[in-house]
Amino acid sequence: MSSLKEKKIGLALGGGAVLGAVHIGVLYALEEKNIEIKAISGTSAGAIVAAFYAFGKTPKEIEEIVTKFEWKKLSSLTLSKYGVLSNEKVGEMIKENIGEKKFNESNIPLGMIATDITTGEKIILDKGSVADAVVASTCIPGIFVPVELGGRFLVDGGIVENIPLSALKGKDIDFVIGVDLIPDRSYKKPENVIEVLYNSFNFLVKINKRAQTKDANIIIKPDLSEFNAVDMSQIKNLIQIGYEETKRIIKNL
């Protein structure tokens, strides 16, 4: 363990909707072993956790924020022709808890990934409004309305890079930990149109991620095949799984 503590560690938190609660458990385990994170990045749900941690929130505080947040507010319908729902409430949650911050104000260097839905380009967000970037990175296409930011039309970064390793490039780190939340298989039948859209999105993410993990020194990948990406009652169990899997992996190092 002493060698890991001496490393300058970058942590890349992947997307996965409610499965993102795993990231909180990962942070609990790393802090328990006094492993300091020198840079952090997030895609989609990972962007939410990364933003809070980069601005000094403890894993316990992040857990309290996400469990208190009324996620059903996200289900408000929108009149937009571009999506079924709006996820602006996620941006409001960020502002309520860390303020209207910009990336250059973070305690730990922070980056996020979004996708330009016009060109298909990967966009690394590391300047300007943190809340706006989180809204863009969490914008699952077909479900949420795309976000206009910096002259671009942005959606969830999971399309192009679900484990946001490239957002750590150029940071002062020498060891990269990635967290992969997308199960290789799931047996749960979709129960509504949102789950149909989300599953379709995830199949695309799985195809793309296979070539993306080579830049990580280790990938934390708990078995999440028994969970689904929308049930908020799973949060405590997901945090525990993230904690236990991270402890298991770092013990082996």
Q: How far apart are CA 83 and CA 240, in angstroms?
A: 33
Burial class (CB in 10 A: 0-12, 13-18, 19+), 101: middle
Q: How far apart are CA 172 and CA 196, in angstroms?
A: 40
Please name every residue paired with 77 in a beta bridge, in sequence order, or none if there are none: 85
Residue with tokens 């949060």: 235
Please name every residue paired with 70 in a beta bridge, in sequence order, or none if there are none: none
Q: How far apart are CA 17 and CA 236, in angstroms?
A: 15
Helix, strand or coil, per DSSP, at residue 9: strand
Residue with tokens 């857990």: 63
Please name every residue paired with 210 in a beta bridge, in sequence order, or none if there are none: none
Q: How far apart are CA 130 and CA 110, in angstroms?
A: 9
Burial class (CB in 10 A: 0-12, 13-18, 19+), 168: buried
The single-letter DSSP state of residue 184 is: S
Catalytic residues: 44, 156
